[in-house]
Amino acid sequence: MTAPARRTLTGLAPRTAIGEGVSRLIRANRPDGPQAPEAGTPAAPAPEQAESGTHGVPKYLQLRRREARVYDEQADALTLLARRLNNGRQLPNGKTSGERITDNTLLRLAIDLLLARADDLEGTTEEELAASLGLEPRTLGQRPK
């Protein structure tokens, strides 16, 4: 025996919570990368179009999800820096200017800075790579000097 269908006051079955658009976004943000769009589903805008802001696609949906493991001190320092920068966005009238700065914003900038200095990188360990950039090598659980 099958369970009876649920009905609403209008006599229609309730809509599902996850629509076609949400399912597409979930698939696109999986670690294995975006899947081919289903028939009838609009493709994501090209990066040059999406950055213009004309398509109304939120910035976070234009970016690829990556994961990184960071030291506790790095995570704390990133959060404090993002908070300080966001506090600087306050205008005298109580409103804010610019976009919200997040830990991810700062990580993207750090990646750009690292890639700009890619020719300086030499070494086979994290410590050697740090030293090649003029950074103090860090050992697990200890801050660089």
pLDDT by 10-residue block (mean), the chain, 145 residues: 61 55 67 51 44 68 90 94 94 90 95 96 94 86 63
Q: Are 144 and 135 in contact (CB under 8 A)?
A: yes
Instruction: Determine how many CB atoms are found less than 10 A away from the CB of residue 39.
Output: 5
Tell me the C-alpha to C-alpha distance, in Å, between residue 35 and each of 17, 42, 75, 142. 21, 13, 32, 41
Q: Helix %, strand %, coil % for the chain, to 5?
A: 40, 0, 60
pLDDT, residue 59, reads 85
Q: What is the pLDDT of residue 52?
A: 43
Structure tokens at 29: 């943000």
pTM: 0.57
59 φ, ψ (degrees, to nearest 5): -55, -40
Give the separation between CA 23 and CA 20, rounded to whole angstroms: 5
